[in-house]
Structure 1
Amino acid sequence: MRSTRFSAIAAMLFLVYGTAAGASGDALTIYSSTEPGALSAELYRHGGRPQAVPGYAVVRHQRDLALEQGRNVLRFSDVAALIDPTTVSFESLTDPGGTSVVEQNFQFDLVSTQKLLQRYVDRQISVDQVRGNGVESFSGTLLSTRGGVTLRREDGSIQLLPHNAGIKLPELPGGLITRPTLVWDIAAKRAGPHRARVSYQTTGITWWADYNLTYAQGVSAATCKLDIGAWVSILNQSGASYQDARLKLVAGDVQRATRPGRTPRAMAAKRGMAEEDRAAGFEQKAFFEYHLYTLGRPTTLPDNS
């Protein structure tokens, strides 16, 4: 007896803020030449190394937007941190001839403690420092953030503080963001609702197939049973999640121009599928030296899974 099982879990989320509204599912095509079992669990169990993940994905997303006639600024947040900005494409399906991209920007200068302090060099900050059973509060000019915090107090003295000192900043400096963001300057001839399609490539995603064989001894050679289980595993460290994604997997050595390394992200792996979902598993098609597998149902691929 033979039974075959398929499953897939992976990641990336695409949200729109500002003038964008209304979302639909993503479509992912994931490419990998990884052999079965080629990626050790140690690669992703403790954070992983993004440069060691061999695959990449093409993401296609459709969204309903509300555009004004003339210039519009759109901000798409929670895109993949490992996105290749040179592959980003924006198109209005409602009015492709009357809608054009004037400027496109990928912002990835994410806020952190060190970056916040660097923005306040030569500016006034306040510090709360524990002294015995009390707290001493003072202010001064931030001189340096290397190896700690160097502060010139109001009396001219220099105070050296650790990075974990109780520093208070009046506001978030401009130019820092909390999430990777794609920003478009769009020129639209037609005002009103638009159906837009965004596509791009991202690294940090790969897949492979594993095969498990279970042998059950029978009373004779004719009654022995062999159960063959085929599982698809998808690893993601792109830093985003895909909701109700339409998933395709491509096997084969796809030639692609290499680009400089990108920001690392943590990743994990997850496998699994309910018995009743097996009927909507992967459909295989072969073309040239490649094999295309299409999942027959939408699947949610959360980040870090």
Structure 2
Amino acid sequence: MNRPSFSNAPLLALALFLLFPLAGPAQAAGSVLAVYNSGRAQVTESRVVTLPEGAAAVVFTDIPSTLDPSSIRATAPDMTVEDVQYAYRPITAANLLNAYIGKELSVILPDPADANARILRKAKLLANADRPIFAMGKEVYVGSYEALLLPEMPKGFDAEPTLTLTTRSSVAGRKNVALSYLMDGLGWRADYNLTVGQAGETCDLDAWATVTNNSDHAFPGADLRLVAGDVQRAAAPKMLARGNAVMAEAMVMDTAPAPAMAAEESFSQYHVYDPGRYVSIPASGSKQVGLFSAANIPVRTELSSLFRSGPNQRAGKINQSVESALILTNTAANNLGKPMPAGVVRVYMPMASGTKLLAGEARIGHAAEGEEVRLVIGRSFDVNVERTQTSFKRIGKNAAEISWRITVRNGSAESRDIKLRESLAGQWTILNADTPYVPTDAGTIEFDLKNVAPSAGTEGKAVNYTVRFEYS
């Protein structure tokens, strides 16, 4: 193995060469920043350094503390990297105390003789796992304290992270070093504003990307890429595990302007969005970037109520909630046809006056082109469903016959459609029903009730059916 020989090298060759951002236009100094849904980012930077011929240590100082040291790659013409060292021991209370384990320090304690007084004691710090433990003479003290006084600042702490490359260059001079790494603390999600038209049959959709940075490292003038998809990550060893970043919620008002269109392309099994401009990401906080907008998308409202039924005897009346959902199909024929990354959809609906009010929010997963998007935005105020078990008959040891009466009442001034979905456990057979139904899968049937009339002063619309359950 070839190792650097420093025995005859001048001291200058051993000096640390500090990297600095590339001079010139702001965009030339910016990073190429690929941000993933998972809270991770890939950073590619170009920096300039002056290297001597032979071995040198090159130090990067302006780097994020959430960097993954194992992912670092650096290349430059006529330069090889022989080792990479990442160092960051921040000045925190826990780190300072850990440095003083086994050493003496001063502890300010409550005075046992006077609740309002304090005493200063010399103590040896024995441990600092869940809390500091002190030795005071022959006694071990585990309890509260007001403050600790350290004799001096211990060595080995860093004001900021440093990345040191041991390099070997065959040609001396200024070089552009391409540095790339992965980091945590950067993530993004989609936020959608969906505004329903006055007739309730079409909607307009504005899609935004909310990029959230919790790394305390800014990226001015970044060449941004947003990667949508669930990228597999290997489990990190415990020594490299990091805390989960807290994603800040971003509220988008319905008065926000339509977003600029971002270019989109497929990558592996994912989709990548390019805003087409340089974007500055603050060190802490969020930034919204336009993805796309679409108008006049056909949409329909669906009311539905689901009940899970099994071979059990039930007494009394059972109230069921009625979900209100908006449904649209993500196709070009419907003026959409775009991959929709996971995020939150805020739905605004018009009043008679034309004023748009927030009608609900729904969280969606990734919706590919061609998929139906179902947005459950709340529960119906006017339509309610009530059911009663009208009969229960045990058939031997392994079967039961159950009859249900389901009553739908419409308290609004207009007729409503509603779907009653019955999720049936085990082996089942419908023996009779007074209303047509369709099986939607191996364990569900659906009664599709059309034009349920307003039921003020009436008993509402009733559905009766009997099911036989068989079980082992």
Q: Could you tell me the TM-score, scaled by structure 2's length? A: 0.46
What does the per-residue CA deviation read over 1:92-119, in whole Å, with 9 as the maximum and x for residues that have no partner? 2xxx22x222221223443332332222
Unaligned runs of 5+ in 1: 1-16, 33-53
Q: Which of the numbers 71, 93, 97 marks the counterpart of 2:56?
A: 71
Change (3 A) 1:210 1:117: closer
Q: Which of the numbers 237, 246, 249 marks the counterpart of 1:267?
A: 246
Counterpart in the other structure of 1:30: 35
Counterpart in the other structure of 1:245: 222
Q: What is the rounded CA distance, in whole Å, between the counterparts of 1:85 and 1:271 in structure 2?
A: 35
Q: What is the rounded CA distance, in whole Å, between the counterparts of 1:148 and 1:175 in structure 2?
A: 21
Alignment of 1:1-305 (within 5 A): 19-22=18-21, 24-32=29-37, 54-69=38-53, 70-81=55-66, 83-92=67-76, 96-97=77-78, 99-129=79-109, 136-145=119-128, 147-152=131-136, 156=137, 158=139, 160=141, 162=143, 164-217=145-198, 226-238=203-215, 240-255=217-232, 257-260=234-237, 262-269=241-248, 270=250, 278-279=259-260, 281-286=261-266, 289-305=269-285
Change (3 A) 1:165 1:250: same
Question: CA RMSD, aligned part only?
Answer: 3.6
Q: What is the rounded CA distance, in whole Å, between the counterparts of 1:243 and 1:55 in structure 2?
A: 19
Aligned 8 A contact 1:148 1:163 in 2: no
**Deviation, structure 1 residue 210:** 3.5
Q: Which amino acid aligns with 1:76?
A: T
Aligned 8 A contact 1:151 1:160 in 2: yes
Q: Which has the higher strand share?
A: 2
Q: Which amino acid aligns with 2:189?
A: W
Q: What is the rounded CA distance, in whole Å, between the counterparts of 1:130 and 1:179 in structure 2?
A: 36
Q: Which amino acid aligns with 2:265?
A: K
**Deviation, structure 1 residue 254:** 4.2
What does the per-residue CA deviation read over 1:265-303, in whole Å, with 9 as the maximum and x for residues that have no partner? 543334779978944x41122356432211121112224
Q: Which has the higher contact order (CA 8 A, sep 6+)?
A: 1
Q: Which amino acid aligns with 1:215?
A: V
Q: Which amino acid aligns with 2:155?
A: G
| SS in structure 1 at match of 2:69 | strand
Aligned 8 A contact 1:26 1:59 in 2: yes
**Deviation, structure 1 residue 199:** 0.5
Aligned 8 A contact 1:238 1:265 in 2: no
Q: What is the rounded CA distance, in whole Å, between the counterparts of 1:20 and 1:180 in structure 2?
A: 14
| SS in structure 1 at match of 2:156 | coil
**Deviation, structure 1 residue 91:** 1.7
Q: What is the rounded CA distance, in whole Å, between the counterparts of 1:64 and 1:159 in structure 2?
A: 55
Q: What is the rounded CA distance, in whole Å, between the counterparts of 2:269 and 2:247 in structure 1?
A: 30
| SS in structure 1 at match of 2:72 | strand
Change (3 A) 1:251 1:117: closer
**Deviation, structure 1 residue 231:** 1.5
Aligned 8 A contact 2:107 2:145 in 1: no
What does the per-residue CA deviation read over 1:194-235, in whole Å, with 9 as the maximum and x for residues that have no partner? 3222101234443333432213427xx9xx974321112234
Identity of matched residues, %:
28
What does the per-residue CA deviation read over 1:234-253, in whole Å, with 9 as the maximum and x for residues that have no partner? 34444533222111122345
| SS in structure 2 at match of 1:176 | coil
**Deviation, structure 1 residue 85:** 2.2
Aligned 8 A contact 1:268 1:304 in 2: no
Moved more, 293-302 or 132-141: 132-141
Higher-Rg member (1/2)? 2
Aligned 8 A contact 2:224 2:278 in 1: yes
Q: What is the rounded CA distance, in whole Å, between the counterparts of 2:155 and 2:71 in structure 1?
A: 27
Change (3 A) 1:226 1:304: same
Q: Could you tell me the TM-score, scaled by structure 1's length? A: 0.67
**Deviation, structure 1 residue 26:** 1.4
Q: What is the rounded CA distance, in whole Å, between the counterparts of 1:57 and 1:140 in structure 2?
A: 45
**Deviation, structure 1 residue 74:** 0.8
